[in-house]
């Protein structure tokens, strides 16, 4: 009997313990579930937050925004996009936009972006509109592309502004040059055909000064126009294989009278052709500027031109050295800037009758031909050496 009681109570105890364990486990599970639910809520809230942030960013973007699948099905687009494209109804694919504005060809740009898996920037437009289009792939880990983001910037206003600026310069330069030509021409005719009537020396000097000033003004107008066009990248470089030596000889020939008038030498010895890639007209302008400058700033000694061929870098260097006034240390950094003339402050600058644009134009021209221009060395009172490089061409 006792044994039965013992066994029974033992079983009961085991049961009680089991029940307790179950209850505890259940409670644990409940807690875990509660925790999970809380986490889920938190996560959902975070997602909502993220979505709200994303939505606000996209909606308020001053750029047209469009997100698409790899195949060109549109996920999201913003109001700016609709405004740029003048679209009121809903659109489903990128192809539909192409149908409305065929020159855009977005489908093709999207394809290129996905195939190359890299960001592309396209300048395009339709009708009177000009656009910058940025297309960027959306990649999941391990290069898997799931779509693309397109941004559209309406640049119509700036393009129109740029254009009118260039037109203004072209028209202004033409309109300025015509009356200046009349002044230059008439004063030249006075000097050439009426000098016997100039009994007064002051009178003849005045006519001469008017003539020289008009020539100077024409040069300024030309320089302004060149700078404006070069800065806007509107000057085309016709690169061709040309003989550098021949071009230098031509310029030296043209400037030799100027050097002779100051009784200084102008030296260039080179017999064999040196072939370079350059735009003939622009190269001539750079040479005239550098050699002309050297002559202008040299009173004793002279100017020599040397060619250095660097086979390692496939470059040819032209160095123009003079024994002129040199350039002071503190002026050197300003040399190739707009409107700068070394050693000239604003009050005395017109003494040399330059525009202060020569070296700046030369720099833009040399860089446009893929070279570099610099001041090699200079010493006040002893002279300067300027150099520029061009691309070498193997014959």
Residue number, 83 or 234, with CB nearest to another protein: 234
184 binds another protein (CB under 8 A): yes
Residue number, 68 or 226, with CB nearest to another protein: 226
Query: What is the rounded distance in angstroms from the CA atom of residue 297 to the CA atom of residue 294?
Result: 5
CB atoms within 10 A of CB 296: 18
Minimal distance, residue 191 CB to another protein, in Å: 9
Given a contact cutoff of 8 angstroms between Cβ atoms, the answer to whether 394 and 342 are in contact is no
Q: Could you tell me which of 270, 218, 282 has the C-alpha nearest to residue 246?
A: 270
Percentages (nearest 5) of helix, strand, coil residues in the chain: 55, 20, 25
CB atoms within 10 A of CB 264: 19
From candidates 218, 319, 375, 393, binder to another protein by CB under 8 A: 218
State whether residue 105 is helix, strand or coil.
Answer: coil
Minimal distance, residue 185 CB to another protein, in Å: 4
Minimal distance, residue 135 CB to another protein, in Å: 35
Q: Which of residues 10-49 bind another protein (CB under 8 A)?
A: none
Minimal distance, residue 361 CB to another protein, in Å: 14
Q: Name the segment binding another protein (CB under 8 A); options: 142-150, 169-177, 260-268, 288-296.
A: 169-177
Residue number, 176 or 334, with CB nearest to another protein: 176
Minimal distance, residue 284 CB to another protein, in Å: 12
Q: Could you tell me which of 124, 122, 145 has the C-alpha nearest to residue 134?
A: 122
Q: Name the segment binding another protein (CB under 8 A); options: 173-181, 285-293, 309-317, 366-374.
A: 173-181
177 binds another protein (CB under 8 A): yes
Helices and strands: H and E segment counts in the chain: 9, 12
Q: How far is CA 379 from CA 321, 323, 331, in A?
A: 12, 9, 12
From candidates 186, 213, 331, 385, binder to another protein by CB under 8 A: 186
Minimal distance, residue 181 CB to another protein, in Å: 4
Minimal distance, residue 176 CB to another protein, in Å: 9
Burial class (CB in 10 A: 0-12, 13-18, 19+), 91: middle
From candidates 2, 128, 143, 192, binder to another protein by CB under 8 A: 192
Count the residues of the shown chain that bind another protein, applying the rule CB under 8 A: 20
Beta bridge partners of 303: 266, 322
Q: What is the DSSP letter of 262?
A: T
Q: Tell how strand 64-68 and strand 144-154 pair up.
A: antiparallel
E strand or H helix at 78? none
Q: Name the segment binding another protein (CB under 8 A); options: 6-14, 20-28, 49-57, 174-182.
A: 174-182
From candidates 10, 71, 86, 179, binder to another protein by CB under 8 A: 179
From candidates 5, 102, 142, 193, binder to another protein by CB under 8 A: 193
Tokens in use for 334?
């300003």
Longest dimension (CA), the chain: 161
State whether residue 153 is helix, strand or coil.
Answer: strand
Residue number, 94 or 180, with CB nearest to another protein: 180
Residue number, 179 or 273, with CB nearest to another protein: 179
Q: Where are the beta strands (DSSP E) in the chain?
A: 64-68, 74-77, 120-126, 129-140, 144-154, 240-243, 265-267, 275-278, 302-310, 315-322, 373-379, 383-392
Tokens in use for 35?
């925790």
Beta bridge partners of 77: 66
From candidates 6, 14, 182, 206, binder to another protein by CB under 8 A: 182
Beta bridge partners of 280: none
From candidates 107, 222, 306, 377, binder to another protein by CB under 8 A: 222
178 binds another protein (CB under 8 A): yes
Residue number, 284 or 391, with CB nearest to another protein: 284
Q: Interface mask (CB under 8 A) for another protein, residues 251-290, using x and -?
A: ------------------------------x---------
86 binds another protein (CB under 8 A): no
- The footprint of another protein (CB under 8 A) covers 173-174, 177-182, 184-186, 188-189, 192-193, 218, 222, 225, 236, 281
């Amino acid at each position: 009997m006792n044994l039965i009681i013992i066994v029974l109570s033992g079983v009961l105890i085991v049961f009680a313990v089991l029940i307790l364990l179950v209850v505890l486990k259940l409670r644990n599970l409940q807690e875990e579930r509660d925790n999970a639910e809380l986490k889920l809520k938190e996560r959902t809230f975070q997602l909502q937050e993220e979505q709200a942030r994303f939505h606000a960013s996209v909606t308020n973007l001053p750029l047209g925004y469009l997100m698409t699948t790899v195949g060109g099905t549109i996920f999201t687009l913003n109001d700016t996009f609709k405004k740029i494209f003048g679209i009121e109804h809903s659109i489903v694919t990128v192809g539909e936009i192409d149908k409305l504005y065929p020159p855009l060809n977005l489908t093709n740009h999207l394809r290129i972006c996905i195939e190359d898996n890299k960001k592309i920037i396209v300048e395009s437009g339709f009708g009177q509109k000009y656009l910058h289009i940025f297309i960027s792939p959306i990649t999941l880990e391990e290069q898997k592309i799931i779509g693309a983001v397109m941004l559209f910037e309406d640049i119509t206003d700036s393009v129109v502004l740029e254009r009118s600026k260039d037109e203004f310069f072209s028209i202004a330069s033409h309109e300025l040059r015509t009356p200046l030509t009349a002044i230059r021409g008439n004063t030249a005719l006075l000097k050439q055909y009426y000098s016997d009537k100039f009994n007064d020396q002051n009178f003849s000097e005045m006519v001469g000064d008017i003539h020289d000033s008009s020539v100077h003004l024409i040069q300024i107008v030309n320089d302004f126009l060149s700078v404006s066009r070069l800065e806007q990248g509107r000057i085309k470089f016709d690169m061709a294989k040309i003989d550098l030596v021949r071009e230098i000889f031509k310029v030296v020939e043209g400037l030799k009278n100027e050097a002779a008038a100051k009784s200084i030498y102008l030296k260039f010895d080179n017999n064999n052709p040196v072939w370079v890639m350059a735009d003939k007209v622009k190269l001539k302008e750079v040479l005239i500027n550098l050699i002309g400058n050297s002559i202008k700033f040299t009173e004793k000694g002279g100017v020599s031109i040397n060619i250095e061929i660097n086979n390692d870098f496939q470059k040819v260097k032209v160095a123009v050295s003079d024994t002129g006034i040199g350039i002071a240390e503190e002026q050197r950094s300003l040399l190739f800037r707009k409107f700068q003339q070394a050693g000239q402050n604003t009050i005395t600058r017109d003494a040399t009758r330059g525009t202060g644009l020569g070296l700046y134009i030369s720099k833009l021209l040399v860089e446009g031909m893929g070279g570099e221009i610099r001041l090699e060395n200079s010493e006040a009172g002893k002279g300067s050496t300027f150099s520029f490089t061009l691309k070498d061409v193997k014959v």
